Every structure is written in C-alpha cells, then in structure tokens.
Amino acid sequence: MIQRFESNGRYHNVIRYDKLLFLSGQTATEMGDDISSQSRAVLKKIENILRQHGSDKRHILHADVYLPKQDMVQPFNAVWDAWTEKGYEPTRACMVAALGRPQILVEIVVIAAIADT
C-alpha cells in the first residue's frame, strides 16, 4: 500500500511504500546563507521527518545531494561525515546543479527503510 504525506498540491514531502520511505528534496534556506549551517539544518530536518515516520538516520539507504557550486562539496562533506554513524553510511550521489532558488545551498533527497520494531 502506498501512503502519501504532506502534500502541497505539486508533490508529497514523504511517501511510504511497504517498509520504505521516500523523502522529497529537503532544504533549509531559513538557516542562513552558508553551506555548513544549511547542511546541518537539512540533516536535522531529515532526522525529524524520519523519526515521525518510524525510521532514523541509521536506516537511510540512499541519499542524493545537490549543491550549486563545486567548492561547496568539501564543507558539505565535513558536515555529512560528522553526522553519519560509522558503519551506517548510505549509498550516496553528490551533484553540482542549479537549484530552485539562489538561497538554497543544499538539497537532499533520501530513501530510507522503516526501522525494525
């Protein structure tokens, strides 16, 4: 069964299918204009969404990371490496691409498994 959550009329923020969660691209423009601050805020936002839907960062299977500039990859990776737990790193792609608004410095799309209870 497919369950959809938090629609804005264009997309759903979270879709659950069986024991998988699919999160739309998460951003945090309200958290400042530097890559490290936005990265920490987006990862915290992802953790909160996962918790609300029965998962956590240890159950992330894959993440797609979008950054607007190549020179943001290293500072993003520093935040990412501090956030992920050793042995629980997901598969990941990191792409440099134009994002939806100039204020967005990082966008992360996540697929996660529901945590075993």
How far is 29 from 39, CA to CA, in rounded Å? 10
Q: Can you give the pLDDT at residue 42?
A: 97
What pLDDT shows up at residue 14?
97
**Distances from the Cα of 4 to the Cα of 23, 53, 80, 86, 88, angstroms:** 10, 11, 28, 31, 26
DSSP 42-62: HHHHHHHHHHHTT--GGGEEE
DSSP category for residue 88: -
What phi and psi, each to the nearest 5 degrees, are found at residue 96?
-95, 120
| Confidence band of 117 (pLDDT split at 50, 70, 90) | low
pLDDT in tens, 35-89: 999 999 999 999 999 999 999 999 999 999 999 999 999 999 999 999 999 999 9
pLDDT for residue 97 is more than 90: yes
